């Protein structure tokens, strides 16, 4: 991102969280995940992490019910830092979790 002359934060925190989730929850033995970064008009940084566990979709942390847990706050971090985030299913058996940051405010 330095080559693109873009600020590192909060993008690197979002990349770290989505990549960690893919490695922990989206891993299939013998397969890894893919990270893609792109700048799309009109000045949006798009972060995409694709893994091969399309059967395990992330759930918005605001929809889960329960007490205080020791883990599971990563997507809450993504939700707070990103301007938008979501999940795109496919092609089977994969899913892509994406987040966007508006670069122009």
Residue-wise pLDDT tens for the chain (105 aa)? 677 788 889 999 999 999 999 999 888 888 889 999 999 988 999 999 999 998 888 877 666 555 555 566 889 999 999 999 999 999 989 999 999 999 986
Place of tokens 């989206």: 26
pTM: 0.87
The strand ranges marked E within the chain are: 34-40, 44-51, 84-89, 95-102
Residue 101 and residue 45 in contact, taking contact as beta carbons nearer than 8 Å: yes
Token pair of 98, please? Answer: 């994406």
């Amino acid at each position: 991102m330095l080559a693109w002359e873009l600020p590192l934060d909060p993008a690197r925190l979002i990349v770290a969280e989505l990549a960690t989730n893919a490695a922990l929850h989206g891993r299939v033995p013998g397969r890894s995940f893919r990270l893609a970064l792109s700048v799309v008009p009109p000045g949006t940084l798009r972060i995409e992490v694709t893994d091969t566990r399309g059967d395990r979709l992330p759930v918005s942390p605001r929809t889960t019910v329960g007490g205080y847990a020791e883990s599971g706050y990563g997507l809450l971090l993504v939700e707070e830092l990103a301007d938008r985030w979501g999940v795109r299913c496919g092609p089977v058996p994969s899913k892509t979790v994406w987040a966007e940051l508006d670069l122009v405010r």
